[in-house]
Amino acid sequence: MATTRTATTQWKGALLDGSGTVSLDTSGVGTFDVSWPSRAEAANGKTSPEELIAAAHSSCFSMALSHGLAGAGTPPESLTTSADVTFQPGEGITGIVLTVRGHVPGLTAEQFQEAAENAKANCPVSKALAGTTISLKAELL
């Protein structure tokens, strides 16, 4: 069964001096301020499309990796994943680095790396971002 998730942005003004809010409508967990300076310079308490992509990618990757590990008979005790999305004004998103640290009993570092590479290639967000270079750093604890 397919699901659809919705977020809505309200924007006022021009790009450089305008600002807006993005609301996570489906979950209702919050509304967040956005602006060009928070995207291209310092966050200053506001979010950006890239930070929202990073949140989506790190959570999707973690779910995919957890599923793959469990399916192979080695469910993780814990996974901690960060996604660093780099935005270059005038160019756009220039890359994403996924960093995962996992505690997975019964797995070698090589097996963990292989499972992480598979999750990176197959998580739905990675597939949606296929036009972007995605790098991976995996560490078994």
Q: Model pTM greater than 0.85?
A: yes
Question: What value does the mean pLDDT take over residues 63-91?
Answer: 97
27 and 86 in a common domain: no
Q: Is residue 1 part of a domain?
A: no
77 and 23 in a common domain: no
CATH number at residue 56: 3.30.300.20
Whether the Cβ atoms of residue 85 and residue 122 lie closer than 8 Å to each other: no
Res. 19 pLDDT band, cuts 50 70 90: very high
The whole domain housing 27 covers 7-40
Q: Is residue 104 part of a domain?
A: yes
63 and 121 in a common domain: yes
What element of type H or E holds 106? none
| In the block, residue with structure tokens 């999305």 | 85
